[in-house]
Amino acid sequence: MADILRHHRHHNPRIGEIPVPHGPETGQEHDDYPAHHTSDYERRIFAHITRPDDSYTANGAYWADLPLRERVPFVAKVDREEAAKELRVTGRMMKQDPLSPLTWYFRHAVLPGAGLGLEGYVLFSIGNLEPLFAAAWPQCWGPDATVCAKNWIASVTYLEIVGIMIGQVGVGIIGDWIGRRWGLIQDALIMLLGLLLLTASWADSLQGWVIFYAWSLFVYGFGVGGEYPITATSSMESAVTAGRLSTRDDRLHRGRRVTSAFLMQGWGQLANQVVLIALLAIFNGGGAAPYSVSAAQFTFRLSFAFPAIGTLWLVYYRTWKMPRANRQLDLAKRRSGVTGYDVAALRGCVRHFGGRLLATAGTWFCNDVFFYGNKLFQGRFISVISTNPDSVMEKWTWNFVNVVVSLAGYYAASLLIDNKLYGRKMMQQVGFLVCFITFVIPAFRYDYYTSPEGIRSFQAMYFLSSFFNQFGPNSVTFLAAGEVFPTPVRASAHGFSACMGKAGALLAAVLYSYLDDREKFRFVPWFGLAGVLLTWLFLPDTTGLDLREQERRWDYIRRGKADEYRGVAVHPAHLSLWERMRGVGRAYDPGKDLRARIDDLRVEWEAEQEVCAAEKESDEAQDVGDWSEEIHGYFRGSSKTEECQNSDDEKGRSGSAGSNGGVMTGRSIGPEGGEENRT
């Protein structure tokens, strides 16, 4: 029996791998696999990493290398199989617990996007409350105000946007310097402080209250601005650090994962509109005019108090339930030998990815001019079709309809953003183009479309622009600004791009006060056309590209060997037109890259074992990498780094000889190198 157990220790696979039968023990077994196997052996054991079946055909051809007539059926097959697998998993979950899919969605979409949901709620509330304030305090907020200075009324918007811009850049740098986790916690704390200030804002005069209110928005804006880079990077990197299926999930669902968090912004806007309508109906006798000062006070203060409760919970969750948010950044810094902010990485990013920075910042700038300009439609068509255009409740009702349309756009983006035949770049170009068309048409026939005869077409263009703004640049800019840059400066680049976006909103807020409606419609459309051109020329399409492969290319750049990298990150399909014109894609050679990839995997394996060992000492260890037992053995034979085995591994190794009874769980590697989920 001792001999059997000793033999089992050498050959027992990790949980989820199909056990390969071995012959009787001969006494000549070795603890480790030799390091000089043939390339056929290497191709076999590394196939699920170097040639995964969701990106490569059975013959080893990358999906982007296939001619269109072969690419379409291959991509459709992968998507169909993945959708079928997800439906099967959902069915099994519902059999065990009918509400478990909702629990999964809450954990993977609602929680990561909770900060953005609160941001959408509060910032949307600012614009919604202005007509109520104007009705309740016309001497301060009305067009003929006599008590409050117009500059301070305008500063409510300006200080909000400036606070967001400072937060986006500042917290982006903090996220790359101190870590993602600290950025997440401090954002929640600052947002909580801002909400408490907004709820309790008071003064002995209306002018004083407006000043207090404006600076409270600045504080809140700083916190919410940091949510952009921190939420995007942490949502993106969590897929890469989630376990054995991380890289497959990253390739197939990274965009959906990030946009699922981002679309919580839309749910926040929807919740705000519902809460405001309900509060005004309760405190103002059904919500009809006139609006009392008391009703306005209760409505706006309670509308800020409710999200303060949610933000307090967010502080708790991020402090005690997200201990591993820094893991991917720590790995990148360990490989680079950096402890603080990676200034060299920032210089390298500007040098090698300057065109990408122009794309992400420039397109976000153009999009926010459009996003702000979308409000131009609403006020105009309400004044024509409404029987009571001055009714706050009627304006909020139309806002509610528009938010529902926008939310549909968010979900459409989430569903198609990872589709290799459509993807990020096409989605952004189409979205910008549709927004350009919907604004340029009424710009040149303004009188007709704002008349009773053409107002329905005008209204339809309004809803189309709302839908395609979300199903286009608003979702893609949030995702692309993080994923096209390397880990050490990802939050900084995202924060800078988002800041440039808010600069577009600030430009719109300032200029619109000097232009009439007709001139605004002639001003806005050209930013859509500029967005199309910037996307086409400078933005790479990272749809289907493994985030780890981008990090691998970055490692080559850091070592001064950019020309030696030949992997798929420089495939022409994943480069911008600007990068291809500069010759970046000429180095692509999948055949020569295979040997280099295996050597690079050794370095990655050693780094992960060191991190795993450190985490094990602090009781935070979890399974890392996508390594099979054969790969562990292959690397053990020629590495001085000890393999890290956490408690799950040890339990699995001992348990498979006992009560597991041959039932396969987790991941198995099929004959073609594909990965399957087994239960």
Residue 28 included in any domain: no
251 and 389 belong to one structural domain: yes
Ranges 8-12, 334-338, 378-382: which has the least confidence: 8-12
Residue 656's pLDDT is 38
Residue 19 included in any domain: no
Confidence of residue 379 (pLDDT cuts 50, 70, 90): low
334 and 465 belong to one structural domain: yes
Instruction: Read off the pLDDT of residues 104-115 as tens digits, 9 standing for 90 and up.
Output: 999 888 988 998
Residue 169's pLDDT is 95
Point out the domain boundary residue: 480, 514, 538. Answer: 538
- d(CA 575, CA 570) in angstroms, rounded, equals 6
Q: Please, is 676 exposed, middle or buried when counting C-beta atoms within 10 Å of its C-beta (0-12, 13-18, 19+)?
A: middle
Confidence of residue 26 (pLDDT cuts 50, 70, 90): very low
Question: Which domain, by its residues, includes 385?
Answer: 103-538
Confidence of residue 25 (pLDDT cuts 50, 70, 90): very low
Mean pLDDT on 430-456: 91
Residue 378's pLDDT is 66
Please report, for the domain that includes residue 481, its CATH number.
1.20.1250.20
602 and 520 belong to one structural domain: no
Instruction: Read off the pLDDT of residues 549-561 as tens digits, 9 standing for 90 and up.
Output: 998 999 999 999 9
Instruction: Read off the pLDDT of residues 30-61 as tens digits, 9 standing for 90 and up.
Output: 344 444 444 688 888 888 888 899 999 999 89
Phi-psi region of 84 (alpha: psi -120 to 50; beta: other; left: phi over 0): alpha
Residue 23 has pLDDT above 60, yes or no: no
564 and 495 belong to one structural domain: no
Mean pLDDT on 193-200: 96
Mean pLDDT on 468-497: 94
Residue 335 has pLDDT above 80, yes or no: no
605 and 552 belong to one structural domain: yes
382 and 297 belong to one structural domain: yes
Residue 34 included in any domain: no
**Most confident of the ranges 18-27, 292-301, 512-521, 605-614:** 292-301
Residue 385 has pLDDT above 80, yes or no: no
Domains contained in the chain, number: 3
Residue 173's pLDDT is 93
Residue 250's pLDDT is 84
What is the model's pTM? 0.84
Confidence of residue 570 (pLDDT cuts 50, 70, 90): very high
Residue 95's pLDDT is 95
Determine what percent of the chain falls in helix, strand and coil, rounding each to the nearest 5: 75, 0, 25
224 and 317 belong to one structural domain: yes
Q: How many helices (H) and strands (E) does the chain have?
A: 29, 2
Q: How much of the chain, in percent, has pLDDT values that exceed 90?
A: 53
Instruction: Read off the pLDDT of residues 218-230 as tens digits, 9 standing for 90 and up.
Output: 999 999 999 999 8
Residue 646's pLDDT is 52
Q: Higher confidence at residue 531 or residue 607?
A: 531
493 and 590 belong to one structural domain: no
Instruction: Read off the pLDDT of residues 356-365 as tens digits, 9 standing for 90 and up.
Output: 999 999 999 9
> Please, what is the average pLDDT of the chain?
83
Peptide bond into 290 cis (omega under 30): yes
Task: State both tokens at 181.
Answer: 């986790």
Q: Please, is 138 exposed, middle or buried when counting C-beta atoms within 10 Å of its C-beta (0-12, 13-18, 19+)?
A: middle
On whether the CB atoms of residues 158 and 217 are closer than 8 A, the answer is no
- The DSSP code sequence of 513-524 is TTS-HHHHHHHS
- d(CA 85, CA 381) in angstroms, rounded, equals 46
Residue 672 included in any domain: no
Instruction: Read off the pLDDT of residues 81-130 as tens digits, 9 standing for 90 and up.
Output: 999 999 999 999 999 999 999 999 998 889 889 988 988 999 888 888 99
Ranges 26-40, 397-411, 543-557: which has the least confidence: 26-40
Residue 522 has pLDDT above 70, yes or no: yes
Residue 508's pLDDT is 87
- d(CA 424, CA 473) in angstroms, rounded, equals 9
271 and 312 belong to one structural domain: yes
Point out the domain boundary residue: 563, 590, 616. Answer: 616
Residue 377's pLDDT is 65
Point out the domain boundary residue: 538, 556, 577. Answer: 538
350 and 411 belong to one structural domain: yes
Residue 64 has pLDDT above 50, yes or no: yes
Task: State both tokens at 6.
Answer: 């000793």
Confidence of residue 202 (pLDDT cuts 50, 70, 90): very high
Residue 155 has pLDDT above 70, yes or no: yes
526 and 555 belong to one structural domain: no
List of residues 6+ apart from 253 with CB closer than 8 A: 239, 418
Mean pLDDT on 306-326: 90
Residue 2's pLDDT is 45
Q: Which stretches of 485-568 are DSSP H helices?
A: 490-511, 517-523, 525-538, 547-558
Residue 115 included in any domain: yes
Q: Higher confidence at residue 35 or residue 355?
A: 355
Ranges 49-63, 276-290, 475-489, 647-661: which has the least confidence: 647-661
Task: State both tokens at 214.
Answer: 């404006």
511 and 551 belong to one structural domain: no
Confidence of residue 632 (pLDDT cuts 50, 70, 90): confident
- Rg of the chain (C-alpha set): 28
Instruction: Read off the pLDDT of residues 452-471 as tens digits, 9 standing for 90 and up.
Output: 888 889 889 989 999 999 99
- The DSSP code sequence of 617-662 is HTT-----TT--HHHHHHHHTT-SSPPP--HHHHHHHHHTTTTTTT
- d(CA 165, CA 576) in angstroms, rounded, equals 27
